[in-house]
Homo-oligomer: A and B are copies of this chain.
């Protein structure tokens, strides 16, 4: 069956490396008979800031406005703003979501953070019961594809920026996996602006090759919900610790005071 792909794209310039990476994804995935939608956040002038205007009509508690609760209610009643509803429709239909962006300050640019804040609303994207491996989007794959300003060595466990696995944890676990997404290994373009033209071409060629088999890739490992005591503390169960935690921690975040499992946020099957 035809697969649906959503590309959420956040770069200001059509002449950028990020634009070329996005174009490569559109082209290859279409050639594999995928239908591809692109949310071009800067062109759309996507609203980044989470406000009461995201709700049509009255808010429930204007004196003590709480975004999660108000958007939950608005979602229940079909009163979220049209731009949010449209992104939610695209996300719901997608088999794979690719986020294409330049890393700004060790994370996504504000406009893409705004997409996460406003589109992944309570009820639609997660509930207290439906999170992580029980998450709402557990049948959907998601992938961060981004450029860095720094060289790869700087983002190593002995580099000044620190281990990229640490930097990716809040994004990949805290946003994507939190909503249930199967997180594919990130596609990292290391400092393309410092590379020679042939270096940039080689990076795009490697991405092109990867895209051919992207939909069949296995996701990264995150500890499943049933490893945790989900009644109360959401701590690892003693038997999970005993069974799984030997030389390394379980993941980059749930490391149990052990060394982080190398490449936990970077490669599947490690």
Q: 1/0 per position for A123-134, CB-CB distance to B under 8 A?
A: 000000000100
Query: Would A15 and B63 be within 8 Å (CB), given that A111-B48, A170-B166 are in contact?
Result: yes
Query: Would A233 and B159 be within 8 Å (CB), given that A105-B120, A174-B106 are in contact?
Result: yes
Give the interface SS of chain A, mostly helix, strand, loop or mixed.
loop
Assembly stoichiometry (copies): 2
Is A219 an interface residue, CB under 8 A from the partner? Answer: no
A249 touches B42 (CB 8 A): no
Partner of A233, one of B153, B171, B228: B153
Query: Would A159 and B15 be within 8 Å (CB), given that A170-B106, A257-B259 are in contact?
Result: no
B117 touches A104 (CB 8 A): yes
Collect the chain B residues with CB atoms within 8 Å of residue A249's CB.
157
Collect the chain B residues with CB atoms within 8 Å of residue A48's CB.
48-49, 110-111, 114
> Besides the contacts A15-B63, A105-B170, A105-B178, what 18 more A-B pairs have beta carbons closer than 8 Å?
A16-B66, A48-B48, A48-B110, A50-B110, A105-B117, A106-B171, A108-B113, A132-B160, A153-B234, A158-B235, A158-B256, A159-B235, A162-B254, A163-B255, A166-B170, A166-B255, A257-B259, A258-B259
